[in-house]
């Protein structure tokens, strides 16, 4: 399940809990990202992982990939929040292969991640 988190108008933010399905992406993530792109012409994205990656179904991964490809040139900043070093490292490496900035953050750094995605601070 994915819930949208209330934030400023220039980003979309989500929390993933338990099992995440294709339907979650289609009902929650895709409409929010589409709306943001129409409003700002870019994607600033934050995802808090409060579930293991194994709980994402194949359909969820496919929808995530399709969404990323559809707006490939629109990605500005994306933060993935997790306590997994592997996920943080993988996220940090994404900036080298796709447009935009991607950063992984620990859960204790939620506010820092949010401020970074909103464009309020720079993070090295």
Task: Give, as one character, the DSSP assignment of residue 60.
Answer: H
pLDDT in tens, 4-49: 999 999 999 999 999 888 898 889 999 999 999 999 999 999 999 9
| Beta strand pairing call for 12-17 and 2-5 | antiparallel
What are the residue boundaries of the structural domains of the chain, listed by start?
Answer: 2-118
Q: Is 77 exposed, middle or buried (0-12, 13-18, 19+ CB in 10 A)?
A: buried
Question: Mind listing the pLDDT tens digit for each residue in 82-113?
Answer: 999 988 888 888 778 788 899 999 999 999 99
For 11, the token pair is 């980003």
Buried b (16+ CB within 10 A) or exposed e, 21-59: bbebbeebbbebbeebeeeeebbbbbbbbbbeeebbbee
pTM of the model: 0.90
């Amino acid at each position: 399940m994915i819930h949208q988190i209330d934030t400023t108008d220039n980003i979309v933010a989500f929390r993933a809990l338990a099992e995440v399905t294709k339907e979650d992406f289609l009902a929650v993530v895709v409409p929010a990202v589409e709306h943001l792109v129409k409003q700002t012409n870019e994607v600033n994205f934050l995802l808090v992982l409060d579930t293991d990656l194994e709980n994402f179904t194949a359909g969820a991964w496919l929808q995530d990939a399709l969404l990323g490809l559809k707006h490939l040139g629109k990605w500005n900043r994306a933060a993935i929040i997790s306590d997994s070093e592997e996920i943080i490292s993988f996220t940090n490496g994404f900036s080298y292969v796709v447009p935009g900035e991607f950063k992984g953050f620990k859960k204790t750094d939620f506010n820092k991640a949010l401020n970074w995605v909103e464009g309020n601070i720079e993070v090295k």
